Amino acid sequence: MSDKKVRVRFAPSPTGGLHLGGVRTVLFNYLFAKKHKGDFVLRIEDTDQSRYVKGAEEYILECLEWCGLTPDEGPVAGGHYAPYRQSERKSIYREYAERLVGQGHAYYAFDTPEELERNRREIPNFQYGHAYRDTLRNSLSMPLHQVQQLIDAGEPHVIRIKMPDNEHIHFEDMIRGHVSFDTSQSDDKVLLKADGMPTYHLAVVVDDYLMKITHAFRGEEWLPSAPVHLLLWEYLGWKADMPQWAHLPLILKPDGHGKLSKRDGARLGFPVYAMNWFDEKTGDLTPGFRELGFLPEAFLNLLVMLGWNDGTDNEIFTLGELIEKFSIERVNKAGAKFDFEKAKWFNAEWIKRSEGGRLKPDVLKVLREKGVQVKDDDYLLTVINLVKERCMLLPDFYQQSSYFFEQPKEYDLNAVKPKWTDAKTAFFISFTGLLANTEDVLAVDLEQAFKTLAEENGIKAGELMLPFRIMLVGGKYGPHVFDIAALLGKKETISRIEKALAEFTR
Ligand code: GLU
């Protein structure tokens, strides 16, 4: 690698919520930048005003913040190459488009949208390119004075690149290796629109150059645009400064057939966006991983594993470890199938491995939203540490921990009533008596006392454990029952046994 400072960019167009593939692109850029002690730039590519969606930029910023992938430069952070929103850089681009016209690599085109539409309708496989450009209204087909007249008269026009006919161009992609294109496949893309705004093709090249971007990692769907970009780098005389490109593999539907889309998520019942996205126009809410209860650490971990591995079987990585281990060469060429069950497994692993203190704010939020009162922080921490390995998604903490804060509202009576006996009632009455006469005790001692008493009463302890759990929890879930009782304390345990006995024997 050259000794230039590494500078990468994430360059989203603010057109809606962020697909998980978009966040993976951010992540790969970020990891590469941090690994090489470089800069991670956020650039908002909003030159297509017709696709601009209100709130989308804020969404992107919030998403990066949630994931902890903070840009070093960008519309909020600022930076030496500001502004970082292309709409605010509008005046920069014309000069380059005109330069290309002057060199004969681009031309003015005066065709109206209606004319183009008619061509598309009437000519099969119409492309504005070498096959037809001479028959259309542009500065290649018209005499110079007429072109000048039209321009002087303020006739709306665009600037198009003149794609060479039958040339082969190629580049080395960091993931895909040698890639080559036949230029006659590509149409003469618009570079500057009639409103003076650049298109993506011109803006991305000009800005990558001006912002001194050294590596550009983007989704595979941009590969067909690469020949246009390559030519622009060459024509503008910047080829030596062209970033190294890597086109990231697609994230595929679970069955491997085609790109994972928003619709697949709706159809199969899992999120495809990073965070909830509300479309003001349609009123549709597209669910996100965040709101479903994914930890950002887990989200990043599952994303990085969609197409990358460190060469071992290890699957769990912190961001710090990823920065150390990541290499773009280890990203697969082939698309990665998305598996929601596996995604949840990552989350469960992360919940299990996280410190109680890390999880506390999230769990508090879950409990508060459900109206559970939490008064004691230390108590909450103990509860989290006790139940976290049973939670896959953050909202699971409600079921797994709310009974530590409030008595069960309902009991799974089917689990106890059919096998209930007077002897069991007698056992629990004696057990409360025993508890009342002891200090709060450790779970192990409680368990010992419970078992000894069961034996004395001639009942198998095993038959009493489930009823005891239902008394304390309400249902057949939760950690070891004596851990629960010990944490609730003797007073609360006695109260729950008494309340439940009344229900069980009714
Ligand atoms: N603005 C493009 C997008 O929305 C960026 C493509 C690129 O990174 O070159 O994905």
- pLDDT tens digits, residue range 417-453? 999 999 999 999 999 999 999 887 889 999 999 999 9
Cis peptide before 83 (omega within 30 of 0): yes
Instruction: List, in sequence order, the alpha helices (H) in 139-225.
Output: 144-152, 200-210
pLDDT of residue 506: 83
b vs e for 478-498, b when ≥16 Cβ sit within 10 Å of the residue's Cβ? bbebbbbbbbbebeebbebbe
Whether 262 is a known active-site residue: answer yes
- Banded model confidence at residue 2, pLDDT cuts 50, 70, 90: low
Chain centroid to CA 24: how far?
7
Nearest CA to ligand 1 atom 5: 11
Q: What is the DSSP string of 96-124?
A: HHHHHHHHTSEEEE---HHHHHHHHHHST
Residue from 8, 10, 13, 215 to probe ligand 1 pocket by mutation (most atoms less than 8 Å from CB): 13
Residue from 19, 30, 45 to probe ligand 1 pocket by mutation (most atoms less than 8 Å from CB): 45
Tokens of 81: 């190459």
Which is it for the CA torsion 198, 201, 204, 208, positive or negative? negative
For residues 166 and 182, is the Cβ–Cβ distance under 8 A?
A: yes
Tokens of 291: 């709101």
pLDDT at 1 over 70: no
Map out the domains of the chain as residue ranges: 7-76+250-340, 87-248, 355-404, 413-504
Fold topology of 87-248:
Glutamyl-tRNA Synthetase; domain 3 (3.90.800)
Gap between the Cα atoms of 338 and 381, Å rounded? 34
Closest CA to 62 of 266, 277, 211, 219: 277
For residues 241 and 209, is the Cβ–Cβ distance under 8 A?
A: yes
> Ligand 1: distance of its center to the CA of 244 in Å?
15
Q: What is the mean pLDDT of residues 126-139?
A: 96
pLDDT (tens digit per residue) in 214-263: 999 999 999 999 999 999 999 999 999 999 999 999 999 999 999 999 99
Strand residue runs (E) in 162-214 = 168-173, 177-182, 190-192
For residues 472 and 402, is the Cβ–Cβ distance under 8 A?
A: no
pLDDT at 362 over 90: yes
Q: What is the DSSP string of 266-296?
A: HHHT---BSS-EE-TTT--EE-BHHHHT--H
Fold topology of 7-76+250-340:
Rossmann fold (3.40.50)
Those residues whose C-beta lies under 8 Å from the C-beta of residue 102, and which sit 6 or more positions away, are none
User: Counting beta carbons within 10 angstroms of the beta carbon of residue 502, is it exposed (0 to 12), middle (13 to 18) or buried (19 or more)?
Assistant: exposed
Report the nearest atom of ligand 1 relative to the CA of 208: 9
Q: Across all residues in the chain, what is the average pLDDT?
A: 96
Report the nearest atom of ligand 1 relative to the CA of 218: 8
pLDDT of residue 3: 79
Helix (H) or strand (E) holding 9: strand 7-10
Q: Indicate the residue type of 210.
A: L
Residue 267 sits at φ, ψ, to 5 deg, of: -70, -40
Which is it for the CA torsion 25, 210, 50, 132, positive or negative? negative
Gap between the Cα atoms of 46 and 476, Å rounded? 53
pLDDT (tens digit per residue) in 365-384: 999 999 999 999 999 999 99
How do 190-192 and 336-337 pair as beta strands? unpaired
Q: Indicate the residue type of 484.
A: I
Catalytic pick among 35, 90, 259, 262: 262
Those residues whose C-beta lies under 8 Å from the C-beta of residue 194, and which sit 6 or more positions away, are 156, 157, 158
Report the nearest atom of ligand 1 relative to the CA of 12: 4
> Ligand 1: distance of its center to the CA of 191 in Å?
15
> Ligand 1: distance of its center to the CA of 216 in Å?
10
Gap between the Cα atoms of 439 and 432, Å rounded? 12
Report the nearest atom of ligand 1 relative to the CA of 25: 8
Do 87-248 and 413-504 have matching folds?
no
In this structure, the residues whose C-beta lies within 6 A of any atom of ligand 1 are 11-13, 45, 200, 204, 218, 222
Length of the chain as a residue count: 506
- Residue 305, CA atoms < 13 Å, CB-side half-sphere: 20
Q: What is the mean pLDDT of residues 15-41?
A: 97
Residue from 7, 28, 204, 242 to probe ligand 1 pocket by mutation (most atoms less than 8 Å from CB): 204
Tokens of 267: 């159809």
pLDDT (tens digit per residue) in 71-97: 999 999 999 999 999 999 999 999 999
Nearest-Å Rg of the Cα atoms of the chain is 32
Gap between the Cα atoms of 470 and 472, Å rounded? 5
pLDDT (tens digit per residue) in 201-217: 999 999 999 999 999 99
CATH of domain 413-504: 1.10.10.350
> Ligand 1: distance of its center to the CA of 280 in Å?
23
- Give percent of the chain above pLDDT 70: 100
Q: What is the DSSP string of 207-273?
A: HHHHTT--EEEEEGGGGGGHHHHHHHHHHTT-GGGPPEEEEEPPEEPTTSSSB--HHHHHHHT---B
> Ligand 1: distance of its center to the CA of 405 in Å?
49
- Banded model confidence at residue 406, pLDDT cuts 50, 70, 90: very high
Gap between the Cα atoms of 257 and 502, Å rounded? 57
- Banded model confidence at residue 180, pLDDT cuts 50, 70, 90: very high
> Ligand 1: distance of its center to the CA of 80 in Å?
21
Report the nearest atom of ligand 1 relative to the CA of 216: 8
